[in-house]
Structure 1
């Protein structure tokens, strides 16, 4: 794991938006990027376009192996925590790794009284040793999200992403490569075999979603997804690739890539989520728009250098048009809040909004 000093430097970088980079302008001048998403005039036309965008996204992520079956999951321990049970589970992801996760099950959730559920995606933060432990800590969130959401009546699931938690040091180079070095070797391996580290990360997340939907105590029609930073990006990509999640809350990392390049802030994001060829086809508003008309809440600080505020606003303007195509009250299903003077952090008031959003759109 990074030292405290290095983590503070990383956080300082993410909290302060950069000035436009003239070097980036020179690079972009010689590159043909896809234009911003052009939202069609009708819902029918958008639905056709949506199918095409999703298919292209899946293709760009690479030649991913099939997701493993639910039978690959095993609960390896259970602990009574009073109002909920904490389970540790694992599954063979069919790609060379055993993935572990935590499930928080409220005592009130039973096969006869099915509960809503939330898939929690942990952040990056250079904290490779933490992973799923984030659900039990406050390293990224104002409260320990697992117990808090379980006590609010949700079944909660979170897994270690590649290179994090108990997967740190389990990449293709083994324990000799941990932390950022392990992340880099995992990215290199996946590129060589025709896929992306980001695609493999999302594949594991969708495998976790497969499992969550089959839990006897879970109402599969009431599942939300959430996270901060890398966890936020995982959340809105999950919404883009899969229609099962009912709603999402995404804190930070609402990043439009062209604006990120122009701000000279590519350094704010790790190698894990760069998808070859993506900007030849579309920028991130096309990904986020695939979540419509399901409720999605985005909360971003305007001093978060990893998400330049002009790009956040640009995404919001375009995605709002897609929600409007759905008519009715669909416009209330998309909220894009920008917090002035705030960096790459999860404020207590953001947590309160997260719970209210999930209660409104997932629980009820």
Structure 2
């Protein structure tokens, strides 16, 4: 009798323990963190968290700011890994168009011994002395067929471009607005966009592109190019760039720095008053141009501000153009912009932006505010938030222009 009771007790206890274990496992499963990389997130998050960016201005008490700046820029250039053979600009003016209050020049110039690009140069009327200049850096948006045309007015625009500008910029071409307000403006094409876009005729497999666009109207042809040629080949492009020993962002950053060289070649430009501005990929370009080039006196970054840490769980799904191997070991994204502190910097964030988390925006703001505060120049940095999706609305454009006017005029 006693033995049977003991066996019954043991059985009930075992059943209860099994039930509790099942509940615990289920609760543990429910509490697991979800991410874009599922079960691999803990591994990558733990690895990234092993160390903080060692060359951040906030990493330690840097006794000599200029030495820190020099070391940080040198390391960043090393990681970007693009040092092509230089070449003279050899500027060509391809067309000249007189517009209301300014003249629009379509120009072509050498970026290095291997690359050329085209750009719009906007020169205000009635200049009597060198004037402030702004480099306006175009976005990505999965729209590769055009680059500079996405924020610079052109004649005979296809409907797909008009709709794009309406969606991201509320229908206004902010580069032209800057020119009307007295700035010389340069709008260069980045590699893979506009005049530097991929040529489907030279692809090993164009996936029937030419058959698909034969006889179709212009907007549909552009849409097909964006999705089925340029979009599909971003992965192959980045793999090939890495295999060649460089980085996509390294090419972009070198190209954008030549834009400063170009402006300095123009008699209309005051070399001590050059700024940069851009949305999305243009914001990333503005971050690196501002951080790397001391000739840039002020910068505006729109809708591209976060930290690597806050991207790892859900928001590392951006264009291949932004990733630089090992950069996080030395410099976080806001650390890049800080390399030009305490030069004036404005960061504009969109609260409804699905590409970045609010936590990431705020973490980047905290880092940059900390740097400017430590440099005793808190008034030269501002981060603003707009209740908008990923875009650069007219309100944001007005704030950006006011910032540029404040620090360049």
- TM-score relative to the length of structure 1: 0.85
For 1:156, which of 160, 185, 192 is the aligned residue? 185
Residue matched to 1:8: none
Residue matched to 2:379: 332
For these two proteins, the number of residue pairs brought into alignment is 337
Residue matched to 1:101: 119
Alignment partner of 1:126 is 2:181: no
TM-superposed deviation, 1:323 = 1.1
Work out whether residues 80 and 246 of structure 2, in 8 Å CA contact, stay in contact via their aligned partners in 1: yes
Residue matched to 1:194: 245
Counterpart-to-counterpart distance in 1, 2:399 and 2:338: 21
Q: Counterparts in 2 of 1:5-44, with a 5 A limit? A: 21=35, 23=39, 25-33=41-49, 34-35=51-52, 37=56, 39=58, 44=63
Residue ranges of structure 2 left out of the alignment (5+ in a row): 1-32, 154-164, 207-228
Find the structure with the greater CA-based Rg: 2
Counterpart-to-counterpart distance in 2, 1:174 and 1:150: 39
Alignment partner of 1:227 is 2:278: yes
Name whichever of 74-83 and 22-31 sits farther off. 22-31
Name whichever of 288-297 and 305-314 sits farther off. 305-314
- TM-score relative to the length of structure 2: 0.76
TM-superposed deviation, 1:342 = 2.6
Work out whether residues 169 and 175 of structure 1, in 8 Å CA contact, stay in contact via their aligned partners in 2: no
3-state DSSP of counterpart to 1:249:
strand
Name whichever of 50-59 and 130-139 sits farther off. 130-139
For 2:109, which of 72, 75, 91 is the aligned residue? 91
Work out whether residues 223 and 244 of structure 1, in 8 Å CA contact, stay in contact via their aligned partners in 2: yes
Q: Deviations over 1:161-203 (max 9, x none)?
A: 1111122224995596631234334323321221111111111
3-state DSSP of counterpart to 1:136:
coil
Q: Deviations over 1:202-260 (max 9, x none)?
A: 11111111111221011111111001000001001101110111111111011211201
Work out whether residues 152 and 187 of structure 2, in 8 Å CA contact, stay in contact via their aligned partners in 1: no
Residue matched to 1:12: none
Alignment partner of 1:320 is 2:338: no
Work out whether residues 252 and 301 of structure 1, in 8 Å CA contact, stay in contact via their aligned partners in 2: yes
Residue matched to 1:298: 347
TM-superposed deviation, 1:130 = 1.6
For 2:291, which of 240, 243, 254 is the aligned residue? 240
Work out whether residues 98 and 104 of structure 2, in 8 Å CA contact, stay in contact via their aligned partners in 1: yes
Counterpart-to-counterpart distance in 2, 1:175 and 1:297: 43
Alignment partner of 1:51 is 2:70: yes
**Root-mean-square deviation over aligned CA pairs:** 2.3
Residue matched to 2:28: none
Alignment partner of 1:266 is 2:285: no
